[in-house]
Amino acid sequence: MSFMTSTREDLKGVLEYGQQVRFRYYTGSISTDEYDDAQTLTKSGNDTWTSGLALPITNKFGSSEAFLIEQGKIKFEDKKLYVAGDIETSALMKIRIGSEEHSIIPDGVTNWPSEGDIVYKKLYCRTLPNGSLIGEM
């Protein structure tokens, strides 16, 4: 068994004890017959359910999170979510963690590769105040 396969299996063992997380994907279209060219989002495909580790943002000093907080890119109210590397995170989506809907913060995905394959991902997520993306149908 390769190091990458072993690492992936170990990670799956850890993630089993996380909470259920739902990824819902969308496609967008722009209506050009209106003045403001409103975007409409439509659910695309099936939801993906997986286990993930959702943790609060807690590092105030001497960490990459502290740097992101100082830059104003993340807030203490945001969450970091660890998921398996095969979860699609580059599409337009929202993520359900517990009873709240979240979106990924721009540039908020960090891939952790090994031997050319992504083993796990760290996502910085922000709660959607009304539970919906703008334009969601």
pLDDT at residue 64 is higher than 70: yes
- Percent of the chain at pLDDT above 70? 84
pLDDT at 46 over 90: yes
Per-residue pLDDT averaged across 52-72, rounded? 83
Q: What is the pLDDT of residues 67-90, one digit of tens each?
A: 888 888 999 999 999 998 889 998
How high does pLDDT run on average in the chain? 84
What pLDDT digit, counting tens, does each position of 123-133 carry?
Answer: 999 999 888 88
* Full set of structural domains in the chain with CATH: 3-127 (2.40.10)
Three-class secondary structure of residue 75 per DSSP: coil
What is the spatial distance between Cα 99 and Cα 94, in angstroms, rounded to a whole number? Answer: 13
Short-list 54, 31, 69, 40, CA closest to 101: 54
Mean pLDDT, range 43-53, rounded to an integer = 92
